[in-house]
Amino acid sequence: MQFKRTPDERFENLVDYSFQPHYLEVDDTEGGKLRIHYLDEGPSDGDVVLLMHGQPVWSYLYRHMIPLLVDAGFRVIAPDLVGFGRSDKPTRPEDYTYARHVAWMSDWLCQLDLTDITVFFQDWGSMIGLRLVAAFPGRFAGVILANGALVTGPVPEEFAIPLKEVYKTLPVVKAEELEERFRDTSGVPGILYWRKFCAESPEILRPGDAVIDSVASQSVFTGAEKAAFNAPFPDETYVAGARRFPSLIPLFRDEPEVEENRAAWEVLKQFDKPFMCAFSDDDPVTAGGDKAFLDHVPGCRGVEHRTITEAGHFLQHEQPEQCVQAILDITGRG
């Protein structure tokens, strides 16, 4: 599998990101290896907190949470998913599949041999991370789900063919229009505009300048922060993973990984360790997504769920203290 590796100098002197890099090689599923980057901060014998990011960001999103968690005595692990951050980036969109993302991160998790993990999942971090919880439930002590999901083909069959036809004719909107598309529930689902945008728009190359701002409705990013989010992608040859992610969400029942996600849900329906929902109050992407977990995951019972206030999709950036408090509460340190 051919891949690109973002030059190290792209990550020099990033604002609020002075953490030391760590790397681990995983099987690329084609007989080769891919390098995954991760942060490993805090005492080596501390209780493990795993932070998993989504699209189109990387571990930089957790820069404000990590020091607070280290100060609380945790060992904090924050990987960059394959195709993002300092991790290797296969160059063809078809190199990326949902199953491969799960396999890559499963290999990484098992090599590190992490156990008794408290996890904080957001966006694609949950789509992959909840599959890890289902595959290795004994490794996890608790889950905080923040603006996340585990999708199993939610589009009804009678709407599938019409929506697939509509998708072919959708315009590629500007990044600044995406939030409006997500909030408008009267027409074509916003996720289809997002799928088209990521697949075709040149703006995906510079997520800090446009994409992140479009769904971070409660925050303003500085120029230095935007540059840091752009750092992993020097040119078009590095963004295949970011372009591919929305197309891997199994919205339709005939798409790959629907059955695998349903099987994962069956495990989660037996998961009785603490499971907290901590969705933000102003996320146009995942609003209401916590209900399925509250209704079906036993670990949600008796947990003090919360709304992260004054936050959009990227709540880790906008309200790091509230996110850390959720972790402290679920681990009994609040």
Catalytically active residues, by annotation: 123, 283, 313
- For CA atoms 163, 165, 168, 173, the dihedral sign is negative
Handedness of CA 131, 308, 86, 84 (dihedral sign): positive
The candidate with the shortest Cα–Cα distance to 308, out of 155, 144, 170, 182, is: 144
Handedness of CA 22, 83, 32, 135 (dihedral sign): positive
Q: Which of 148, 232, 162, 236 is nearest to 199 (CA)?
A: 236
**Residue for token pair 């329906």:** 269
Q: 59-85 b/e with 16+ CB inside 10 Å = b?
A: bbbbbbbbbbbbebebbbbbbbbbbbb
Backbone angles phi, psi at 285, to 5 degrees: -90, -45
